[in-house]
Amino acid sequence: MYKYILKRLLALIPVILGVIFIIYLILDMTPGDAVNTILGTNYTPEAAEALREQLGLNRPFLVKLFSYIFGIIRGDFGNSYITNTPVLEKIGAAFPNTVILVIVSMVFCTLVSMPIGIRSAVKPNSFFSNLTSAFAMVGIALPTFWLGLLLILLFSVKLNILPSVGDITPKGLILPAITLSASFMAGTMRTVRSSMLEQLSQDYVRTAKAKGVTPHDVIHKHALSNAILPVITVVGLNIGTQMGGSVLTETVFGYPGMGRVLILAINQRDTPVILGCLVLMALCIGICNLAVDILFALVDPRIKSQYTKTK
């Protein structure tokens, strides 16, 4: 088992390095630089060149890239071009807020989608199953920003029962969490339904029914224990994906998370902050994938047996 975990940890390193390379290359190829943002419109060519020299913007691409990677290894993500404060300090104030929003969103998504998916699979041709399938398709297609604006208009403007601006309070998290979890809830619901339908058609389920096992035990102790494997994958990957998907949600609701920091940095061409946010998001996604692999290995005996010593 330790070999499996070590193998996944080592595989995470080139993925993160590749993400850093792609992000750094895209930002380096983007026209313009931070000089216009820092100095404004009235500056001399000498001042601009001196600032580029100070920030290292005139160095070759590979030199800048390796300097940035070595800085990350030392825990130094650089300083913001605008505020001249450390990037980690700037991101560190917003990152916990994003984590809270993602956790609340995933808990809400799982608690709602799991029972609905199981119920739809148990009675696949019922009105409830058809209705939830239709809602799932609509949920996947709904744009995040549009859904967020609709929720604000309904619950904040018309009914005036929830705040339109998200914050770290129970009421302030409701609308952002629903908006962020909508599309993931629909996908999880469909995954649970299809996985349960596949397991309920297996021979061992029919055998359990023939032995007189109660319907509750057939569904929850037999079918669900085998159907949970793909659901673990979907839920685990959704957690990482929501770290990036929270950008739109946080922008719509004015939520003080990492997404707002990223949007502000993009508008100001604050390259160190942009890089820091994107690298941290990529790292979170990689860690979530690693956690899913480890959890999958613990649940699935077929994977565990590959890394178990035979006596």
pLDDT tens-digit readout, 28-70: 887 766 777 777 667 777 787 887 787 777 888 888 888 888 8
Choose between 265 and 305: higher pLDDT.
265
Of 14, 25, 20, 3, the residue nearest 282 (C-alpha): 20
Does the structure show a pLDDT above 60 at 81? yes
* Confidence at residue 311, expressed as pLDDT on a 0 to 100 scale: 43
Residue 308's pLDDT band (boundaries 50, 70, 90)? Answer: low
Q: Is 79 helix (H, G, I), strand (E, B) or coil?
A: strand
Of 145, 98, 105, 104, nearest to 257 (Cα)? 98
Residue 110 has pLDDT above 70, yes or no: yes
Q: Which of 263, 233, 283, 255 is nearest to 179 (CA)?
A: 255
- Strand runs labelled E in the chain: none
Q: Which residues lie below 8 Å from residue 257, measured CB to CB, with a gap of 6+?
A: 94, 95, 97, 98, 101, 246, 250
* Location of each CATH 1.10.3720.10 domain in the chain: 95-256
CB of 255 closer than 8 Å to CB of 167: yes
Rounded CA-CA distance 286/270 in Å is 25
More confident residue, 152 or 304: 152
Let me know if 192 is exposed, middle or buried by CB neighbors in 10 A (0-12, 13-18, 19+).
buried
What pLDDT does 113 receive?
Answer: 87
**Distance from C-alpha of 296 to C-alpha of 293, rounded to nearest angstrom:** 5
Mean pLDDT of 190-196: 87
User: What CA–CA distance (Å, rounded) separates 259 from 184?
Assistant: 18
Structure confidence by residue, pLDDT tens digits, 152-164: 999 999 988 988 8
**pLDDT-based confidence at residue 305 (cuts at 50, 70, 90):** low
For range 111-116, the mean pLDDT? 88
CA-to-CA distance for 181 and 151, rounded, in angstroms?
A: 13
The whole-number average pLDDT for the span 263-279 is 86
pLDDT at residue 153 in the model: 92
- The percent of residues above 90 in pLDDT, for the chain, comes to 3
From 13-17, 146-150, 171-175, the region with the lowest mean pLDDT: 13-17
Q: Which residue has the tokens 């590749």?
A: 18
Angle between helices 271-299 and 224-253 (to 10 degrees): 170
Share of the chain residues as helix, strand and coil, in percent rounded to the nearest 5: 80, 0, 20
The stretch 241-250 carries a mean pLDDT of: 81
Q: What is the CATH number of domain 95-256?
A: 1.10.3720.10
Of 40 and 97, the one with more pLDDT:
97
On average, the pLDDT of the chain sits at 83
Average pLDDT over residues 279-288: 84
Q: What is the pTM of this model?
A: 0.82
Query: Residue 79's beta-bridge partner residues?
Result: 86
Is the confidence at residue 277, as pLDDT, over 80?
Answer: yes
Identify the residue with better confidence: 305 or 118.
Answer: 118
pLDDT(17) > 50: yes
> Nearest Cα to 72, choosing from 287, 279, 294?
279
Q: Is the pLDDT of residue 293 over 80?
A: no
What pLDDT is attached to residue 302? 64
